[in-house]
Structure 1
Amino acid sequence: MTESTQQQPALNYVSKTDMVVALIRELIITGELAAGKQLRQRDLAARFHVSQTPVREAMRRLESEGLVIGDAHRGFTVVEADSGSTEENFQIRAALESLGAALAAPKIDEAGIAKLTDLNERMRELAEDDPTYPELNREFHFTLYEYSHSPLLLSLMRLLWQALHGGPRVARSHAESISQHELIIDALRRGDAEAARKATYEHIMGAAPLD
């Protein structure tokens, strides 16, 4: 995450707490805040240019999502979610994300399709070793999760991506991944839940995970 993102003004959110929740959540999912890391409210407040009150409220929200855990003595720490093999995590991800795609198909609007398409086109323009690709890919997949309108599924996917150390790493070219994204977008555009489910499942399970 860039410094400009971290300093994004609170007026883009419902409240300062919402802003802090979103920023910390992203740092956890991307792995910048590693599993087991102790979170100091004073440091986070200084980092995001807010008082400690919204940080404290954000910690409680993130604890309810399962991303941090509170302790009377140590305060809050990032949850250790790294259980199970990488292959098992991919199988769980495939099952959950394909369900999310099926749920999203009848609900996604033109703005959602446009966002997914734009993200995919931006990824297409990048070189294979471009460091910005993983972030765009993460945004693509979490946009899909959000359109399922299932808070539980979204929370589970956040935990799963954290267990995959900031996101899945696979032995697959960007071009192949982008082509598979197009199949998912096309199914969503048609509102075809079964096609969206199948394309998403094959996209995830068709790649060899890297440990």
Structure 2
Amino acid sequence: MLRPIETKSMQDLVHDQLSEALMAGAFRPGEMLNLNALAQSFGTSLMPVRDAVRRLAADEALVVEPQRGARVRVHTAAEFAEMSELRAELEGDLTERAVRSLDQATRDALLERLEGLLRAEDAPSDFLRLNRDFYFALYAAADRPVTMRLVRSLWQQVGPVITLYLQTESGSDAMQRLADFGQALRSAQAKNARDLRCEQIMRPSAGLLSQYDKVMGTGRQSAVDVVLKSIEVGSGSARRPGRKRRNT
């Protein structure tokens, strides 16, 4: 049966790109965003950029600074801890509901995505994008749109520091937990999958919190720059709109 083709306004397209960039960790905490440069990158006027920034500020992901533009919000350690706990609760619930309801075809497609995620261990930009795509595809099977909106809002806020997860624990530990999650998904162990997802969120969050002030202070920029050196957003990957690419 034919359905109407969905179209998006320019405001929504710009908002979606900035939202994806935030979730993928393409901006540093506290980084200033030049609205004119963003508009030039998008090939739009300032109006849709301002609208997108306003909406993201309402979601607590950005802070509007008159006469300067906007900057990525820097959360306190207590706020980050609370957001991590909320993520674990909400994403754990979505995981359990999704794993219980998956048909075999959807389960197989998700396992294929997971294999791609496991292969992306040495490519931070690919890992971040595939990680988000995999879990959001899984959560969609839970059919909980209100919860999903809350999760997206939380990801927008933690995205700028989520790359620091890679600095707080060994890659082998993270990959092992991911492989364990795949086994739970394959065997439809919904409760085990929930517990593993909560651990995937809370364990690296605890490691980051143990050095949060240092990471978010003088050491923040250098740590993030190492991870984000080659990130780009576009066609599903992550770039940094509004910033010139460095020559290497």
With the length of structure 1 as denominator, give the TM-score of the two structures: 0.70
Is 2:194 the counterpart of 1:200?
no
Give the drift of 1:41: 1.8
Aligned residues: 196
SS in 2 for 1:35: coil
Residue number in structure 2 paired with 1:166:
163
1:72 is aligned to 66
- 1:154 matched to which residue of 2? 152
Give, in angstroms, the shift of residue 27 of structure 1.
2.2
**Greater mean alpha carbon deviation, residues 165-174 or residues 67-76:** 165-174
CA distances 1:2-61 after superposition (whole Å, capped 9, x unpaired)? xxxxxxxxx996222222112112222333222222222211111112222211111122
Q: How far apart are the structure 1 equivalents of 2:27 and 2:186?
A: 35
Distance in 2, matches of 1:168 and 1:142, equals 19
1:158 is displaced (CA, Å) by 2.7
Helix, strand or coil: the match of 2:44?
Answer: coil
CA distance in structure 2 between the partners assigned to 1:196 and 1:68 by the alignment:
32
The corresponding residue for 1:23 is 17
DSSP-derived class of the 1:76 partner:
strand
Choose 196-205 or 55-64, whichever is displaced more.
196-205
Query: For each residue in 1:157-192, what CA deviation from the matched residue of structure 2 results, as whole angstroms up to 9, or x when unmatched?
Result: 332333x343632324265144123145347xx5x7
C-alpha separation in 2, matches of 1:77 and 1:129 = 30
Task: Describe the shift of the 1:156–1:206 C-alpha distance in structure 2 as closer, same or farther (beyond 3 A).
Answer: closer
- 1:60 matched to 2:57? The reply is no
Amino acid of the structure 1 residue aligned with 2:155: M
What amino acid does structure 1 have at the position aligned with 2:21?
L
Cα distance in 2 for partners of 1:55, 1:101 equals: 34
For residues 25-64 of structure 1, the aligned pairs below 5 Å read 25-64=19-58
Equivalent in 123, 147, 152 of residue 130 of structure 1: 123
Q: Percent identity over the alignment?
A: 27
| Aligned counterparts, 1:88-99, within 5 A | 93-99=87-93
Contact 2:111–2:186 (Cα < 8 Å) also in 1: no
Aligned to 2:77: 83
C-alpha distance in 2 between matches for 1:115 and 1:62: 32
Q: For residue 180 of structure 2, what is the aligned residue in structure 1?
A: 180
Say whether residues 1:121 and 2:115 are aligned partners: yes
For residues 71 and 40 of structure 1, the distance between their equivalents in structure 2, rounded to whole angstroms, comes to 11
2: CA distance, partners of 1:18 / 1:99: 28
Instruction: Give 1:156 shift.
Output: 1.9
Q: Contact conserved, 1:138 with 1:167, CA < 8 A, in 2?
A: no
Please state whether the residue corresponding to 1:136 is helix, strand or coil: helix
C-alpha separation in 2, matches of 1:146 and 1:166: 24
